[in-house]
Amino acid sequence: MGSARKLEGLMMANSANLNFSGGPGALPPPVLAEASEAILRAPGTNQSILGISHRSDYFKAILQESEALFRELLTIPPDYHVLQLQGGSSLQFSMVPMLLLRGKGKTAEYLKTGYWSAKSIPDARLEGPVRVLFDGEAGGYTRLPEEGELTYDTQAAYFHYVSNETVEGLQFHHLPGSPAVPRICDMSSDFLSRPLDIGDFSLVYAHAQKNLGPAGLTLVILKDSLLNNAPDHLPSMLNYRNHVEMGSIYNTPPVFSIYVTLLVARWLRNSIGGLEKMASLNEKKAEALYGFLDRHPDFFQIHGAKKDRSRMNVVFRSPSPELDQTFLEEAAAAGFYGLEGHRSLGGLRASLYNSVTEEDVNRLLEFMDGFQTRHRSGKGKS
Ligand code: PMP
């Protein structure tokens, strides 16, 4: 009975349109099937997952298993906490400087490499001085700083950057920052897409709605020693210490998002086989799409510099805004969605998060090939 429903759910999910959105991103069809079953009845219970108490042993087991899985997937050392918080990544733009900059008499160093890192800076400035080490805005955020291009202050309060700029499609393929200063990273759009050495970071945050699960949950991994000199009088919800002490149930957590994220983490370990495997699949998908775009340079333009290309968000445009619009309409009719560029940039974007398969990408490429053939003669017209 359970498996019949699962199968039905799987079939429904498979026949749904393919999600290439920048976020909320695609989720694996088996996870969608399990999640829909759990809405009716959580495994091993007679209750909907939506009605399960966050104080129940059932939910505590969910939290424990998901923390254990994250620890396993990322080899997180014991002196790091794993927190499952709310408020999205945007709230981390404030919580980080509240902890590390407020009243410290030091300067924080930020990289401004795209729309999202630019958003993180004003909130930091509310808490103390910020030095922007690299500002890509004038160049239209088309490249990231090179290794060796930046000069770090070893006395800085901390160093903050965004590992993958979701809007512009730029991703760091090297590690910026200095070992002398706490390195803080917004990994919202490439977390769990490739292995990482958590020891390089003092704090990493990522909201769920790209590679992990539904919106409503933000994962924060932070080193315990970071909490040693927390300022007094932080609002209680904005104080990491409270969340650490209460094991991520300081107040009512997003139980469903946490549950679905656990299903995704299980899928990542059991079906994909871990982060090395995930990374090589992601590399193949990105190579296929960039390879196609590179073969049609007279039709498609890629936004970012080749060396900084994101494996998660492929940002490009066709010869004209009118053709971009036609592309979106034809793509929707062909069963693809979420291909519009971010509202700040326009153009097109195909996001290849973990759950997008090579087969999905091949289907998209087939469509794109047909599109460029059909519209090549009328470039600039729709
Ligand atoms: N950082 C990055 C890299 C993002 O892509 C986004 C949103 N897409 C955010 C932060 C903001 O996230 P949230 O909506 O969860 O606040």
Residue 82 alpha carbon to ligand 1 centre in Å: 19
Q: Are residue 232 and residue 134 in the same domain, yes or no?
A: yes
Q: Are residue 225 and residue 258 in the same domain, yes or no?
A: yes
Rg over CA atoms, the chain? 21
Q: Are residue 307 and residue 360 in the same domain, yes or no?
A: yes
What is the strand order of the sheet 218-223 is part of? 80-85, 218-223, 203-207, 183-186, 158-162, 108-112, 130-135
Q: Are residue 13 and residue 89 in the same domain, yes or no?
A: no
* Rounded Cα–Cα distance for residues 204 and 206 (Å): 7
Residue 168 alpha carbon to ligand 1 centre in Å: 13
Q: Find out whether 111 and 172 touch, Cβ atoms under 8 Å.
A: no
Active site residue 60: no
**Does residue 193's CB lie within 6 angstroms of at least one atom of ligand 1?**
no
Q: What is the pLDDT of residue 382?
A: 42
Compute CA 164 distance to the chain's CA centroid, rounded to the nearest angstrom: 8
* Rounded Cα–Cα distance for residues 212 and 197 (Å): 19
Give the three-class secondary structure for 246: coil
Write out the two tokens for 311: 């494996």
* Rounded Cα–Cα distance for residues 85 and 248 (Å): 7
Q: Are residue 116 and residue 142 in the same domain, yes or no?
A: yes
Q: Find out whether 69 and 266 touch, Cβ atoms under 8 Å.
A: yes
Residue 381 domain-assigned? no
Q: Find out whether 150 and 327 touch, Cβ atoms under 8 Å.
A: no
Q: What is the pLDDT of residue 3?
A: 54
**Does residue 90's CB lie within 6 angstroms of at least one atom of ligand 1?**
yes
**Does residue 23's CB lie within 6 angstroms of at least one atom of ligand 1?**
yes
Residue 166 alpha carbon to ligand 1 centre in Å: 8
Write out the two tokens for 235: 């609002």
Q: What is the pLDDT of residue 147?
A: 86
Residue 327 domain-assigned? yes
Q: How deeply is 349 buried, as exposed, middle or buried, from its count of CB atoms within 10 A (0-12, 13-18, 19+)?
A: buried
Residue 54 domain-assigned? yes
Q: Are residue 66 and residue 192 in the same domain, yes or no?
A: yes
Task: Give the domain CATH number at 279.
Answer: 3.90.1150.10
Q: What is the pLDDT of residue 381?
A: 44
Q: Are residue 41 and residue 20 in the same domain, yes or no?
A: no
Q: Are residue 75 and residue 104 in the same domain, yes or no?
A: yes
Strands 183-186, 158-162: pairing is parallel
Residue 6 alpha carbon to ligand 1 centre in Å: 32
Q: Are residue 66 and residue 156 in the same domain, yes or no?
A: yes
Residue 201 domain-assigned? yes
User: What is the mean pLDDT of each successive set of 10 residues along the chain, which is 382 residues long?
Assistant: 55 70 94 96 97 97 98 98 98 98 97 98 98 98 95 97 98 97 98 98 98 97 96 95 96 97 98 98 98 98 98 98 97 96 96 97 98 81 43
Rounded to 5 degrees, what are φ and ψ at 222?
A: -135, 150
**Does residue 162's CB lie within 6 angstroms of at least one atom of ligand 1?**
yes
Q: Are residue 139 and residue 184 in the same domain, yes or no?
A: yes
Residue 210 domain-assigned? yes
Torsion angle defined by CA atoms of residues 108, 113, 114 and 119, in that order, rounded to the nearest 10 degrees: 0
Name the domain boundary from 238, 270, 302.
270
Rounded to 5 degrees, what are φ and ψ at 379?
A: -50, 130
* Catalytic member of 210, 223, 308, 360: 210
Task: For ligand 1, pick from 172, 186, 190, 207 the residue to mutate: most ligand atoms within 8 Å of CB.
Answer: 207
* Rounded Cα–Cα distance for residues 267 and 133 (Å): 39
Q: Are residue 325 and residue 366 in the same domain, yes or no?
A: yes
The H-or-E segment that residue 311 falls in is none
* Rounded Cα–Cα distance for residues 169 and 354 (Å): 16
Name the domain boundary from 270, 303, 330.
270
Residue 382 domain-assigned? no
Active site residue 267: no
Name the domain boundary from 229, 246, 270.
270
Q: What is the pLDDT of residue 377?
A: 78
Length in residues, the chain: 382
Active site residue 210: yes
Q: Are residue 170 and residue 314 in the same domain, yes or no?
A: no
Task: Give the domain CATH number at 239.
Answer: 3.40.640.10
Q: What is the pLDDT of residue 11?
A: 52
Domain count, the chain: 2
Range of the domain at 73: 37-270
**Does residue 24's CB lie within 6 angstroms of at least one atom of ligand 1?**
no
Residue 226 domain-assigned? yes
Residue 32 domain-assigned? no
Closest CA to 146 of 158, 159, 157, 133: 133
Q: What is the pLDDT of residue 17?
A: 79
